[in-house]
Amino acid sequence: MRREYDIVLRIGYVGVTALCGMMFVWIWVAPGSCSTVFNAIEDKGFATVSDGLVPRTLITKYRKHLAVCVAHVLPASVWSAIAPFQIHPAARKRFPRAHRYAGRLFLIISASMTYGYYLINKRGLHFHANDFPTIPVEERASFWIDYGAVGLSFVHVEHFGAMWFAFTAMRAYIAVATPPRNFTAHRAWTWRHIASGLAVALQRVFLFIHHGAFRVFGATASTPELMKPIFSDSLVYGGVFAAVFCEVCIFRAHPARARFKTS
């Protein structure tokens, strides 16, 4: 069986496409925090549902920060549109020139998004610092992880995610931009880069799972004291799930005997 038809890889391709599609809609339509097309939060029904999941400011805050929208949020929609094409083997083989040009644009957008994260940090727009004013920044950062016990803050988790996002993009580029060109390493690091970006998309999935679980047991999690750890833990779960599944896909796509093949 050709490896691109491996069931695990198929799940990976479909999952990446679905998550990227979700993020594209998330950015431009619902909630559309930077969108010039549609702002779902203005719809009363959507706003009611949203307010039961996250604070309103978590969705609306970027509208007051044009640089963050231009550098980080809106480019993420283009990143989401390119990502599925870059990792699909049939698309790469059929459209090699488009793959190369899209890859260069992908790197530029990744750099822009990283700079956008820098702006988010510089302007104090992290959710734990900006969107839960009644809770001290370092409190309620998780249901079960005590970051302070090991001298950390949740912002360090976010910093690591941003650095890994940038690092994986550079590794993917360097693998084919400098001799000897290693296409196997290039594909592996591209998978890792996309997985790091989609941790944010998976955060949304785990956020819905958290709130759904509360409802199953007849409770709600609409208070800041519960929303905050749900949001932060969901990002951790999303990042871990994406990283682990990514490594499984890399292993399935590139058997050990071929991992260092160069061209």
Alpha-carbon distance of 172 to 169, in angstroms, equals 5
263 within domain boundaries: no
133's CB contacts (< 8 A; 6+ apart) are: none
For residue 36, give both structure tokens.
Answer: 């010039």
Considering the domain boundaries, does residue 64 fall inside one?
yes
Q: Is residue 164 part of a domain?
A: yes
User: Is residue 8 domain-resident?
Assistant: yes
pLDDT of residue 30: 83
Rounded CA gap, 122 and 118, in Å?
Answer: 6
Structure confidence at residue 46 (pLDDT): 85
Query: What Rg do the C-alpha atoms of the chain give, in angstroms?
Result: 19
Q: Taking the CA atoms of 247, 182, 99 and 67 in sequence, report the sign of the dihedral they define.
A: positive
Quote the pLDDT of residue 190.
97
Place of tokens 């499984």: 248
Q: Which domain holds residue 244?
A: 3-258
pTM for the complete prediction? 0.91
Please give the pLDDT value at position 41: 75
Q: Per-residue confidence of the chain (263 residues) as pLDDT tens digits? A: 345 458 999 999 999 999 999 999 999 988 888 887 777 777 888 888 888 999 999 988 998 899 999 999 999 999 999 999 999 888 888 999 999 999 999 999 999 999 999 999 999 999 999 999 999 999 999 999 999 888 899 999 999 999 999 999 999 999 999 888 999 999 999 999 999 999 999 999 999 999 999 989 888 888 999 999 999 999 999 999 999 999 999 998 876 544 444 43
22 in Cβ contact with 7 (< 8 Å): no
Evaluate whether 229 touches 142 at the Cβ level (below 8 Å).
yes
CA distance 71 to 55: 23
Residue 26 lies in a domain: yes
Annotate the chain with three-state secondary structure. Answer: CCHHHCHHHHHHHHHHHHHHHHHHHHHHCCCCCCCCCCCHHHCHHHHHHHHCCCCHHHHHHHHHCHHHHHHHHHHHHHHHHHHHHHHCHHHHHHCHHHHHHHHHHHHHHHHHHHHHHHHHHHCCCCHHHHCCCCCCCCCCCCCCCCHHHHCCCHHHHHHHHHHHHHHHHHHHHHHHHCCCCCHHHHHHHHHHHHHHHHHHHHHHHHHHHHHHHHHHCCCCCCCHHHHHHHHHHHHHHHHHHHHHHHHHHHHHHCCHHHCCCCC
Residue 143 lies in a domain: yes
Q: How many domains does the chain have?
A: 1
Residue written as token pair 């799930």: 241
CA distances (Å), origin 51, targets 57, 70, 189 = 10, 25, 37
